[in-house]
Amino acid sequence: MRAVVRLVSAGAVAGLLAAGMVAAAPGAPAASAATAPAVQSHWAELANAVTGANLWSRSSVSERPMGSITKVMTAYLVIEAGSLNRVITVPNGIVAYDKTYDASTAGLVPGEKLTALQLLYAMLLPSGADAAYTLAYAYGGSRAGFLARMNAAAGKLGLSKTHFSDFSGLPDPGQYTTYSTARDLISLGRDAMRLPLLAKIVATRSYSVAAGSGHRAHTWKNGNLLLTRYPGAIGIKTGFTNAAGQCLLFEARRGTKTLIGVVLHSSSSITDPSAAVNDAIRMLNFGFSG
């Protein structure tokens, strides 16, 4: 790589970094601050994770659906409530819920008994809507009860343009009834990542539960491909619905700098999350090279 850098101008290197064609390593030459990252998302923001300072944004205060990024708030409330060793029985309601929306699941079966901590891994790694449903009813008492807590927390955290109508981010009752903005999601992500347990879970690539009394064996793999594709990536959550498109709330650390970003609707493809990951890489290269 060093030999290539000698043959091209600093501006060309900056362009490659911003385009995401190369990954900026710690100590690499800084790209021009004027070179904006070339991302597909029309609703995005990159910020300093410590200070919250906006480093780059695009339509970041427009309200948009965000799919399963919603589960960050669900996890935040569960962790804040505590009692994570409590054993919860997976309810029958997960079957119709998952089937109605063709939701991603953690493979849970009604009647299984798992701890709240295990269910957090089941929700955040494979984006299990069945786990989100189970946690929401256990901690909220009902769908309405947990949603009230979510929206109250949004108000308390200053997420003035965020509303939740489903604890998984699924289009219930409509495609746009759960929504946020890139800027609000940056704020939510910063608050969530201050919880050591949540930060640990979203950085975990795989988590296994051995078969035991009341439950089967499970292995859950993290669906956030940025963790394997970008050195320094430490979280946090993917998202998709037809209206939201491919979404990703992400965080990465290199040296003493930690960046957090989000992209909404990087692509409309349900089968290929690479567009959101590529957008995140371009934004992080931009941020770390400045």
Active site residues: 68, 71, 127
Give the separation between CA 189 and CA 50, rounded to whole angstroms: 11
Measured from the Cβ of residue 267, the count of other Cβ atoms closer than 10 Å reads 20
Long-range pairs of 189-193 with CB within 8 A, sequence gap ≥ 24: 189/49, 189/72, 189/236, 189/249, 189/251, 189/260, 189/262, 190/47, 190/49, 190/52, 190/260, 191/76, 191/157, 192/72, 192/73, 192/75, 192/76, 192/236, 193/49, 193/235, 193/236, 193/251, 193/260
Assess whether the previous peptide bond of 234 is cis (omega < 30° from 0).
Answer: no
Alpha-carbon gap, residue 198 to 127, rounded angstroms: 14
Alpha helices by DSSP H, listed for the chain, are: 2-7, 10-19, 71-81, 94-101, 116-124, 129-140, 143-156, 182-193, 196-203, 226-229, 274-289
Residue 101 tokens read as 């929306």
Backbone φ/ψ region at 153: left (φ over 0), alpha (ψ -120 to 50), beta: alpha
Q: Are 187 and 158 in contact (CB under 8 A)?
A: yes
